[in-house]
Amino acid sequence: MWIQRDISTLIEQNDDIIQVIRGPRQCGKSTLILHLSSEFKELSLDDPSLRELAQRDPELFLSQFNHQKLFIDEAQYAPNLFPSLKRKADLEKRSLPQKSQTILRLTGSNQILMDKHIKESLAGRASFFDMNTLSVSEILSSQKKPIQEIIYKGGWPELHANPTKDAKKFLDDYINSYIEKDIVLAGGIQKSREFLQFVKLLAGRVGGLLDFAKLGSEIGIDGKTAKDWISILERMNIIATVAPYSSNLSSRLTKAPKIYFIDTGLACRLQGWTSPEPILTSPQQGMLFENLVFSEIFKLNMNFQLGWQIYHWRSRAGEEVDFLIQTSPNNFIFIESKVSKAPSRILSELPEVRKVFGDKIPKLIVCHQEGEHILENYVPISLLKKFLLTE
């Protein structure tokens, strides 16, 4: 079953000679590219023989496919190939001086290696697109299902295209292959056992403030190592940190960032959940839903390349709002996540909000789980994308 991806339009409208689509394994990069066009010949460097040839003799590798549009999957595994791709792009550009067309689409799941190899070789010659797992709106555009199920399964396309797929086994395999192996190797992490414990600690703290020293002490590493590991997980598209909003007038706002997983399915499995039903009565439900709201905002921003800034609001005086989105230099929206509808607070009564924004206090909306209609200041998560794109 094909699920329409929001990022499709951006890729189709772009005509740069090289397109690079980055994102974690199994988030749907290859499926999307093959769906967009049948003109591109697929070459996966997960294949050891293709990878060896591309790395050993890149010119011979490319000569087999002259005058063909190529889709090279997991391109980061053959760094020697990139100078040859650069030459191929330059030759194509000279032959079509008036209007270019895309002839190379590259994907990669290892952001660390992609950054290292591609930015050096293809600077100025490629357009970059970041993907992640399905958003709530993408899932619900193709099928109806409870929000609790989406929290538990996350946005992995395979779990929604194939409802009989065992989500627990899929996520266990993913953690074993991508987090415990790929990320450990890419990040040069020596303490692999401690690293997995660290990732599980982060999953148990979604929506919480980061204390690097405290996190590190719980598994026997120092604060600097904890900070480095979080940076690696961010670069590999597993987690995101949300900084507090600050301005020259808000010196009393706390400086600690908050932590979220980009996909709630990974957070749920790392917390130990094996089905969605028990989450309903769990103390973790509120924070997992908050994580889902963050994920929806994050993916919307990424899929449409909106350039929004996402902050959290927390003052030392105790004022707290889950998210503050800056959609333009002078436009802000506060968002609170609530499992069910709750009375909306009055932002003008919060001293720090008044101090920072004066008489231009941003709108506050409450995002809740269920519902089919946008009401004043209340938006169900299924319609959060629609609401934010029209604000």
Positive or negative: CA dihedral 143, 259, 254, 320: positive
* Cα–Cα dist 55/49, whole Å: 10
The secondary structure element, H or E, covering residue 242 is strand 239-242
Mean pLDDT of 9-16: 93
* Cα–Cα dist 279/277, whole Å: 5
3-state secondary structure of 34: helix
Q: Both 176 and 74 in a single domain?
A: no
What are φ and ψ of residue 274, in 5° steps?
Answer: -120, 0
Q: Both 361 and 219 in a single domain?
A: yes
Q: Is the pTM of this model over 0.85?
A: yes
Is 345 within 8 Å of 355 (Cβ atoms)?
Answer: no
Among 31-40, 161-170, 352-361, the least confident range? 352-361
* Cα–Cα dist 322/344, whole Å: 13
CA atoms within 13 A on the CB side of 132: 28
- pLDDT tier at 349, thresholds 50, 70, 90: confident
- What is residue 99's predicted lDDT score, i.e. its pLDDT? 67
- Number of structural domains the chain divides into: 2
Q: Both 206 and 229 in a single domain?
A: yes
- What is residue 351's predicted lDDT score, i.e. its pLDDT? 87
Q: Determine, yes or no, domain membership for 50.
A: yes
What are φ and ψ of residue 368, in 5° steps?
Answer: -125, 175
Which residues have a Cβ under 8 Å from the Cβ of 119 and sit 6 or more positions away?
A: none
Judge residue 72's burial from the number of C-beta atoms within 10 Å of its C-beta, 0-12 exposed, 13-18 middle, 19 or more buried.
buried
Q: Both 120 and 224 in a single domain?
A: no
Which residues have a Cβ under 8 Å from the Cβ of 326 and sit 6 or more positions away?
A: 245, 308, 309, 310, 311, 332
User: In this structure, are strands 331-337 and 320-328 parallel, antiparallel, or unpaired?
Assistant: antiparallel
Mean pLDDT of 14-21: 92
Is 241 within 8 Å of 202 (Cβ atoms)?
Answer: no
Q: Determine, yes or no, domain membership for 40.
A: yes
Q: Determine, yes or no, domain membership for 2.
A: no
Residue ending a domain, choose from 130, 153, 169: 130
Among 248-262, 279-293, 358-372, the least confident range? 248-262
Q: Both 87 and 60 in a single domain?
A: yes
pLDDT digits (tens, 9 = 90+) for 75-85: 999 999 999 99
Q: Both 202 and 122 in a single domain?
A: no
Is 295 within 8 Å of 264 (Cβ atoms)?
Answer: yes
Q: Both 196 and 290 in a single domain?
A: yes
Q: Both 176 and 278 in a single domain?
A: yes
- What is residue 291's predicted lDDT score, i.e. its pLDDT? 98
| Residue from 263, 273, 306 nearest 135 by CA | 263
Residue ranges making up the domain that contains 13: 8-130
The secondary structure element, H or E, covering residue 258 is strand 258-261
Residue ending a domain, choose from 115, 130, 145: 130
Q: Determine, yes or no, domain membership for 193.
A: yes
Q: Determine, yes or no, domain membership for 3.
A: no
Helix, strand, coil share (%) of the chain residues, nearest 5: 45, 20, 35
* Cα–Cα dist 335/339, whole Å: 13
* Cα–Cα dist 108/127, whole Å: 14
Q: Both 300 and 376 in a single domain?
A: yes
- What is residue 72's predicted lDDT score, i.e. its pLDDT? 96
Instruction: Please determine, for residue 70, whether its predicted confidence score (pLDDT) is greater than 60.
Output: yes
Q: Determine, yes or no, domain membership for 381.
A: yes
- What is residue 117's predicted lDDT score, i.e. its pLDDT? 73
Q: Both 32 and 140 in a single domain?
A: no
Q: Both 329 and 304 in a single domain?
A: yes
Is 328 within 8 Å of 169 (Cβ atoms)?
Answer: no
Question: For the domain that residue 107 is a member of, what is the CATH number?
Answer: 3.40.50.300
Which residues have a Cβ under 8 Å from the Cβ of 89 and sit 6 or more positions away?
A: 17, 18, 103, 104, 122, 125, 126
Other C-beta atoms closer than 10 Å to the C-beta of 115 total 14
Q: Both 164 and 269 in a single domain?
A: yes
- What is residue 194's predicted lDDT score, i.e. its pLDDT? 95
Question: For the domain that residue 305 is a member of, what is the CATH number?
Answer: 1.10.10.10
Q: Which residue has the higher pLDDT, 272 or 89?
A: 272
Among 174-178, 225-229, 336-340, the least confident range? 336-340
% of the chain surpassing 70 pLDDT: 97
Bridge partner residues of 330 (DSSP): none
Residue ending a domain, choose from 100, 130, 160: 130
